[in-house]
Amino acid sequence: MELTWHGHSTWHVTVGDTELLIDPFFDNPKTDLEPSDVETPDYVLLTHGHADHISHAGEFSDATLVATPELVSYCEDEFGFEDAVGGMGMNLGGTVECGDAYVTMHRADHTNGIMTEYDVDAGMPTGFVISDTKPTQIADEESTTFYDAGDTALMTEMRDVIGPYLEPDAAAVPIGDHFTMGPQQAAIAVDWLDVDYALPQHYDTFPPIEQDPADFEREVEATGSDAEVQVLEADEPFELES
């Protein structure tokens, strides 16, 4: 599995021959790419409907959309998406097969209103657990799994459900504070998830979320976690192995 961070919360995930793009937003200072520089993926995954997560979704409307039914409906009207997983989106707790990937949707503790002329309820904000094998209660040491926590506060489901049962190898967690977890709570999330790699996201895009990722590294170390913090350079691929 190959992970490429394009700054903020935008990820390109390759699983086998399947390309997934999460929360396309290229107006951030970490990337030099424009949406037109990125080939249309097979799937676009949207964690929630805030502008810094969906602003460039319409540039990839030929892809299959993966999001809550409420957000799918909005994106069909606003961006011209015609194809969604299952024809209607998916919802919390569900797993869908997306080419060579299995995508499980989990909730995030955040908000999800879309502020337009008519305020839109985009459903529950989410995170995604992406694996190259279907999740089961039987541990599979050969599988590779990536958890994008989305925009979230610390929540005990990370400790009680996502970590022990979905078993991610790497987790992308927001560290920007103000709108999401900051370094301290993000480090606790990493410890609870029991991952091998911790990938900071959602920081340095706007003044309120400016952070030194070294603070996050120190907080992870302070929890006693064995996770390796990988502060990725934008647009540079990272190979994730089980």
Domains in the chain, CATH or no CATH each: 2-239 (3.60.15.10)
Do residues 84 and 72 touch, judged by C-beta distance below 8 A? yes
d(CA 231, CA 239) in angstroms, rounded, equals: 14
Q: What does DSSP assign to residue 193?
A: H
pLDDT in tens, the chain (242 residues): 999 999 999 999 999 999 999 999 999 999 999 999 999 999 999 999 999 999 999 999 999 999 999 999 999 999 999 999 989 999 999 999 999 999 999 999 999 988 765 677 878 999 999 999 999 988 788 899 999 999 999 999 999 999 999 999 999 999 999 999 999 999 999 999 999 999 999 999 999 999 999 999 999 999 999 999 999 999 999 999 87
Contacts of 103 (CB under 8 A, 6+ apart): 20, 43, 45, 66, 85, 90, 95, 96, 97, 128, 129, 130
Torsion angle (degrees, nearest 10) of CA 199, 205, 211, 212: 70
Give phi and psi for 78, each to the nearest 5. -85, -40
Tell whether pTM > 0.95: yes
Q: How confident is the model at residue 116, as a pLDDT? A: 67
- DSSP 8-state class, residue 115: -
Residues 228 and 133: their CA atoms lie apart, in Å, by 23
Contact 179, 208 (CB under 8 A): yes
What's the CA gap between 77 and 152, in Å, rounded? 27
Q: What is the pLDDT of residue 113?
A: 87
Q: How far is CA 11 from CA 4, 19, 92, 137, 138, in A?
A: 6, 10, 20, 27, 28
What are the tokens at 69?
Answer: 């039914």
pLDDT at res. 118 = 64
CB neighbours of 200 closer than 8 A, spacing ≥ 6? 172, 173, 174, 175, 186, 211, 213, 216, 229, 231
Pairing of strands 95-98, 43-45: unpaired
Residue 227: predicted pLDDT: 98
198/225 Cα distance (integer angstroms): 10
Q: What is the pLDDT of residue 153?
A: 98
- Confirm if 67 and 45 have CB atoms less than 8 A apart: yes
CA neighbor of 144 nearest in space, from 153, 133, 157? 133
The SS3 call for residue 18 is strand
